[in-house]
């Protein structure tokens, strides 16, 4: 004859609480057998027991609870006297996992605080970390990217006692909208040519009206006249930089010839 076994979804809340109580009592009997025997026979707890500091007692259903001095506090019974849960027990891990998932994967300290309104877990922080570390959602949320391996700095970044802007990097800002004064006020676009010393990180700014190579040559000429000659300049392969470099190289070639 087949025996009908109800599923978890078909159990009432009272039946689920009864089953949970039986599981907790069984876990406590396995972990705290000597303490439960002493309490049932009105004996003193063993001297080597880890529960002596908790002043435990057995409630009306036989669960081991934490004693305390907050009898007159305006909180519920479970908060006053939380249930003692042993470490390294399956029911303890199930309770931890249930509270962790139902509370949207909260952090370890918050989970420990919420659980202590009903349970007191021996070595609670250690057990919570074991459970939370197995959660892939939490691992994915708290994971950090691996930083790439950085190459050694180039020589021009490490030469001391050089005049600023001996080695220079050049680039442009994003465009800026400025208002030109006068009787007919209007808005115009401007760019800023940024010269950066690669050794000292000093900066020099030059205003550029357009992005043509002619305007870049004017900015470069103003920069050199103000900061002095430089040994090397680095830039990206923008069209104005490439055309300006070709124009300077051609002018130097003609000058030498």
Each residue of 129-171: pLDDT tens digit? 988 888 998 888 888 888 888 888 888 888 877 889 999 999 9
Cβ distance 194 to 171 under 8 Å? yes
Helix, strand, or coil (residue 88): coil
pLDDT (mean) for 214-232 = 90
Average pLDDT, the chain: 86
pLDDT tens by residue, 79-89: 899 999 998 88
Give the residue among 97, 122, 117 at the shortest CA–CA distance from 108: 97
Rounded distance between C-alpha atoms, residue 22 and residue 249, angstroms: 89
The C-alpha angle with vertex 87 and arms to 84 and 93, in degrees rounded to 5, equals 95
pLDDT at 83: 93
pLDDT (mean) for 233-240 = 88
pLDDT of 5 over the 60 cut? no
Q: Dig out the tokens for 2 from the structure.
A: 């087949």
Q: Which residues pair with 120 in a beta bridge?
A: 84
Residue ranges per domain, the chain? 10-140, 155-256
Strands (E), the chain: 57-58, 64-65, 83-85, 119-121, 167-172, 176-180, 186-197, 203-208, 232-234
pLDDT tens by residue, 20-66: 899 999 999 999 999 999 999 999 998 888 898 899 999 888 899 99
Give the residue among 142, 110, 137, 136 at the shortest CA–CA distance from 124: 110
- Which CATH architecture does the domain made up of 155-256 adopt? 2-Layer Sandwich (3.30)
Topology annotation, domain 10-140:
Endonuclease III; domain 1 (1.10.340)
pLDDT at 12: 66
pLDDT of 238 over the 70 cut? yes
Rounded distance between C-alpha atoms, residue 253 and residue 248, angstroms: 9
What does pTM read for this prediction? 0.56
Strands across the sheet with 64-65, in order? 57-58, 64-65, 83-85, 119-121
């Amino acid at each position: 004859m087949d025996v009908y076994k109800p599923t978890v979804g078909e159990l009432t809340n009272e039946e689920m609480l009864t089953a949970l109580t039986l599981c907790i009592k069984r876990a406590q009997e396995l972990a705290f057998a000597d303490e439960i025997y002493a309490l049932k026979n009105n004996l003193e707890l063993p001297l080597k027991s880890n529960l002596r500091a908790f002043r435990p007692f057995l409630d009306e259903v036989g669960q081991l609870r934490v004693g305390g001095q907050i009898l007159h506090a305006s909180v519920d019974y479970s908060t006053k006297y939380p249930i003692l849960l042993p470490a390294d027990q399956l029911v303890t891990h199930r309770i931890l996992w249930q509270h962790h998932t139902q509370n949207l994967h909260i952090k370890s300290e918050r989970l420990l605080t919420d659980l202590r309104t009903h349970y007191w877990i021996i070595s609670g922080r250690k057990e919570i970390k074991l459970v939370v570390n197995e959660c892939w959602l939490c691992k994915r949320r708290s994971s950090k990217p691996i930083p790439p391996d950085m190459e050694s700095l180039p020589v021009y970044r490490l030469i001391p006692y050089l005049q600023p802007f001996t080695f220079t990097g050049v680039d442009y800002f994003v465009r800026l909208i400025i208002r030109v004064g006068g009787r007919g006020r209007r808005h115009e676009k401007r760019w800023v040519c940024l010269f950066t010393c690669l050794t000292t990180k000093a900066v020099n700014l030059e205003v550029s009206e357009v992005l043509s190579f002619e305007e870049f040559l004017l900015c470069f000429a103003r920069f050199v006249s103000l900061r002095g000659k430089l040994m090397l300049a680095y830039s990206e392969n923008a069209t104005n930089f490439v055309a300006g470099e070709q124009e300077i190289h051609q002018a130097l070639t003609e000058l030498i010839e």
